[in-house]
Structure 1
């Protein structure tokens, strides 16, 4: 892995969530100065050098608000190299085709798709100068989904598509890749299975590895894609799914 130092900055959105905190810790341990971005305050004991409370949806919809946010980001960068921009923030609005409202779609696309695009666009000069790379935390729902995930799955499919399109469009200027995790054992996921250990066990065993993923495993893959030696990876959308994406579910 290339040498990093306290002058190398990594920006992580959605930094207060389960995967986000694992990302912050992994990049800090790798020697980077982490700028955490989240709508919530920084959790205690999280080793982020800087923290910025931001409404990502508003940073898409309100040009004046966005200008202020990016002014603050550049002030925090203070000329240091932006080694990676990790788009981890997401919102998951559940609902089927007959239930989703326009507001549901607007929020989903603003946070899950437009914010990654516009933040990369705004920080492209800093990414090119570093040089740095962009990582989208997409989802298995980009390829495989289930009822009730219409907006979320659509946004993640679009995010993986954006990864490929930006890689082609930017060429050698900035690398752009994506991870597509399956179920990850975040506090939010575990809370959803509270009181139903049988369902949680079923979730484990539907993955060929016999378990779901851990946030630290997403972070390890993120480091490999952004700071690792495999710099020919560009436009890749890598499945991080314990093999569930290649399993045939056939009742016969």
Structure 2
């Protein structure tokens, strides 16, 4: 467990996996700042938490927003020990590639790949002082694909490559690692009171681990990677998918 003086910034932290990371780290004693474009969800999470967290609205694709987010983080918490680049446009399907607009392509690139670059760029001076860590949130879609997901796959593949480049450039002062989640059920982590329908037995059973993942599964890996126990781990991509990418699936 980290002390209350250790500070983490989580991008895209108002909902889904990001929300799970915020709550997990805060409950483990971290001071957590999280940003999101969704003001309502961000304010709801900050108001409902009993832990030491701060919400800052902003878009990671905007460099002025990123500079403001980093500044507010350091001013509020007094430093920065870890950055979790989780913000992203989650919908992978953009239709046939011949109909994919440059606007759609560029928006995903801006948020999913340029965003982590900008956050890292402006966080590095503070992380270097703290001998800190970076965790980037990629996807198993960096390694395998469904049809009509070119823009999303390209951004997540780029994020894996960006991670090992950062690890080499920033080491030994700063470690950088990547997590590639598989199917994570985020429906109960969207900042609403609506209870989702249960997933089917087959949804769970198709996973070698026997179940679909939860935000807590990813948050636990994040917590480990930014901890002192992971001080010899950098430049790696950790697939957390219940074993699905290890299955050979052919139509019979």
Equivalence for 2:249: 249
After superposition, the Cα gap between the structure-2 partners of 1:235 and 1:196, relative to the gap in structure 1 and judged at 3 Å, is same
Residue 88 (1) aligns with residue 91 (2): no
**1:233 counterpart = 2:233:** yes
Partner of 1:14: 12
Deviation at 1:65, TM superposition (A): 4.6
Partner-residue secondary structure (3-state), 1:127: helix
RMSD over equivalenced CA pairs, Å:
2.3
1:143 paired residue number: 143
The equivalent residue for 1:25 is 23
**Alpha-carbon distance in 1 for matches of 2:231, 2:218:** 18
Task: Provide, for residues 69-110 of structure 1, a one-character-per-residue CA deviation record: whole Å limited to 9, x for no partner.
Answer: 4433332233x3x22100111103521312221111121011
Separation in 2, partners of 1:74, 1:221? 24
User: Which position in structure 1 is the counterpart of 2:58?
Assistant: 54
Alignment match of 1:45 (pick from 14, 33, 48):
48
Aligned residue runs from structure 1 range 94-105, under 5 A: 94-95=93-94, 96-105=96-105
Count of residues in Structure 1 that have an aligned counterpart in Structure 2: 240
TM-score w.r.t. structure 1 length? Answer: 0.87
Which structure 2 residue ranges, 5 or more long, are not aligned? Answer: 191-195
Q: How far apart in 2 are the matches of 1:50 and 1:97? A: 40
Tell me the distance in 2 between the aligned counterparts of 1:245 and 1:138. 14
Check whether the contact 2:88–2:112 (CA below 8 A) recurs between aligned residues: yes
Deviation at 1:202, TM superposition (A): 3.9
> Are the equivalent residues in 1 in contact too, given 2:84–2:137 (CA < 8 A)?
yes
**1:175 corresponds to:** 175
Write the deviation string for residues 189-214 of structure 1: whole angstroms up to 9, x where unpaired: 99xxx7896xx544323321232101
Question: Equivalents in 2 of 1:201, 1:152: separation in Å?
Answer: 28
Equivalent in the alignment of 1:123: 123
Q: Which moved more, 1:4-13 or 1:37-46?
A: 37-46
The alpha carbon displacement at 1:188 in A equals 7.5
Question: Which residue is equivalent to 2:186?
Answer: 186
Correspondence list, 1:175-214, <5 A: 175-187=175-187, 200-214=200-214
Does the 8 A contact of 1:24 with 1:48 survive in 2?
no
Return the offset for 1:126: 0.5
Alpha-carbon distance between aligned partners in 2 of 1:66 and 1:147, rounded to the nearest angstrom: 33
Is the contact made by 1:36 and 1:48 (CA closer than 8 Å) also made in structure 2? no
Secondary structure of residue in 2 paired with 1:91? coil
Is residue 167 of structure 2 the alignment partner of residue 163 of structure 1? Answer: no
Instruction: Identify unmatched segments of 5+ residues in structure 1.
Output: none
Q: Take 1:73 and 1:40, find their aligned partners in 2: how far apart are those partners? A: 18
Aligned to 1:218: 218
Distance 1:228 1:214 in 2: 24
